[in-house]
């Protein structure tokens, strides 16, 4: 006999856990299949620095997650964009748009602990952990889907009206559904760390472009910056071998003196920069969200914010139409609602990553013109600000209002 739930989410990372909380909030019988055992956090909750757009902050506050953060967040009040050895720069100021901030910087581990604290309050939620998705099984005449999971006790079946793939870039659910994905590499490795500078963070987030990719400096809440430094893939081993002093000198050369002298650096982690786009995000009785649907270059900090909007749109439709509406086009309406935001964010992220790392002379001229225009044309700047804050396309209601009902 299979256990049965209205919704089963495979993957307990940032997006999967957030969706579980959103569904529990509206009374949906939900299960979460997690690879990590109780008492431990998934590997994604490490020292990476997450930049939450204002839309995400609104929604996570409504879901009761931001209130669970024990460490201070870093407000983003201004955004400074420039490129090495080129003229032009853009400075965006939240106050100019009647906002206190554009968003907040949160350490991934702190966010994981806050999500776990909130998940423990979800009384409609069932958690299978540690467990892994082992494939779908045929279930003649049943509505929804039946999956097999494997855990310490062996294997078991779980039935669901809706299965949500939130299991990341290498999604096993996506593969078992037969949904193809287009993948490309940026030939960049991203080094992530916490750094201390001679000038403590004052609410400015920096994005500095170069031929090998961007270097972002994000104001954390602990008087440090979070750095994301892209290097060409063929140089990654040499950069990884640098001692602390050598790595700081490299950052200083790339970034300049806008934040003062780089003084200290914590442990460094490295990740490849890739782009993966699923050819479709829905299948009968199943939907892809977050990195399982699309994995973005981290430039502009769009990835998690886009995935959270996936999750919240799905929860909003289930709340408004009921779980049985899955048989009456709910998933098609989900895909339609997400299409504009997804397409525009994918295009923005990929275009920015490729244009800013292109060292061809024509690209330099285009960048200089673009930076000049963005710094002096209010309409263009307003469009950039809206996207940076997460207000792009058909935005879920929780992102707009932060309603805490």
The pTM of this model reads 0.91
Place of tokens 């080094």: 191
User: Cα separation of 405 and 324, whole Å?
Assistant: 24
pLDDT attached to residue 348: 79
Per DSSP, helices labelled H in 83-242 are 108-119, 172-176, 236-240
Tens-of-pLDDT digits for all 405 residues of the chain? 679 999 999 999 999 999 999 999 999 999 999 999 998 998 888 888 999 999 999 999 999 999 999 999 999 999 888 877 656 677 888 898 888 999 999 999 999 999 999 999 999 999 999 999 999 997 644 578 999 999 988 999 999 999 999 999 999 999 999 999 999 999 999 999 999 999 889 999 998 888 888 899 999 999 999 999 999 999 999 999 999 999 999 999 998 888 999 999 999 999 999 999 999 999 999 999 999 999 998 776 688 999 999 999 999 999 999 998 888 899 999 999 999 999 988 887 887 776 655 554 444 444 444 544 445 555 555 566 666 677 777 889 999 865 544
pLDDT confidence of residue 405: 42
User: What pLDDT is recorded for position 300?
Assistant: 66
∠ CA 393-334-28, nearest 5°, is 120
Encoding tokens for residue 380?
């263009």
Minimal CA–CA distance to 312: which of 284, 283, 276, 341? 341
Q: 17 vs 10, 20, 30, 341, CA distance in Å? A: 10, 5, 11, 21
Domains of the chain: 3-182+274-401 (3.50.50.60)
């Amino acid at each position: 006999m299979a256990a049965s739930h209205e919704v089963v989410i495979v993957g307990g990372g940032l997006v999967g856990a957030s969706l579980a909380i959103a569904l529990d909030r509206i009374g949906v019988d939900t299960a979460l299949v997690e690879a990590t055992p109780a008492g431990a956090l998934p590997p994604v909750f490490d020292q990476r620095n997450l930049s939450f757009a204002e839309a995400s902050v609104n929604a996570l506050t409504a879901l009761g997650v931001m209130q669970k953060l024990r460490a201070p967040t870093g407000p983003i009040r201004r955004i400074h964009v420039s490129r090495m050895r080129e003229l032009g720069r853009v400075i965006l100021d939240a106050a100019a748009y009647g906002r206190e901030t554009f968003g907040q910087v949160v350490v991934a581990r702190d966010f994981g602990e806050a999500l776990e604290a909130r998940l423990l309050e979800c009384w409609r939620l069932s958690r299978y952990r540690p467990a892994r998705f082992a494939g779908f099984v045929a279930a003649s005449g049943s509505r929804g889907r039946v999956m097999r999971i494997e855990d310490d006790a062996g294997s078991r079946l779980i039935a669901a009206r809706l299965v949500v793939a939130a299991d990341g870039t290498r999604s096993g659910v996506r593969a078992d559904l037969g949904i193809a994905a287009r993948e490309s590499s940026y030939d960049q490795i991203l080094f992530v760390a916490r750094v201390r500078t001679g000038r403590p963070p004052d609410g400015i987030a920096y994005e500095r472009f170069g031929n090998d990719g961007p270097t972002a400096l994000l104001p954390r809440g602990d008087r440090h910056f979070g750095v994301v430094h892209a290097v060409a893939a063929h140089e990654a081993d040499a950069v990884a071998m640098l001692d602390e002093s050598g790595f700081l000198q490299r950052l200083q050369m790339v970034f300049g003196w806008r934040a003062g002298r780089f003084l200290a650096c914590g442990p460094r982690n490295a990740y490849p920069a890739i782009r993966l786009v699923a050819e479709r995000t829905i299948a009968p009785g199943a939907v892809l969200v977050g990195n399982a649907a699309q994995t973005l270059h981290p430039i502009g900090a769009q990835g998690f914010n886009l995935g959270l909007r996936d999750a919240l749109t799905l929860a909003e439709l289930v709340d408004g139409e009921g779980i049985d509406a899955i048989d009456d086009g709910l998933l098609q309406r989900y895909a339609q609602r997400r299409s504009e935001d997804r397409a525009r964010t994918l295009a923005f992220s990929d275009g920015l990553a490729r244009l800013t790392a292109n060292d061809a002379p024509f690209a330099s001229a285009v960048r200089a013109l673009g930076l000049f225009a963005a710094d002096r044309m209010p309409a263009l700047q307003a469009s950039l600000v809206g996207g940076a804050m997460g207000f792009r396309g058909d935005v879920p209601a929780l992102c707009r209002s932060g309603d805490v009902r």
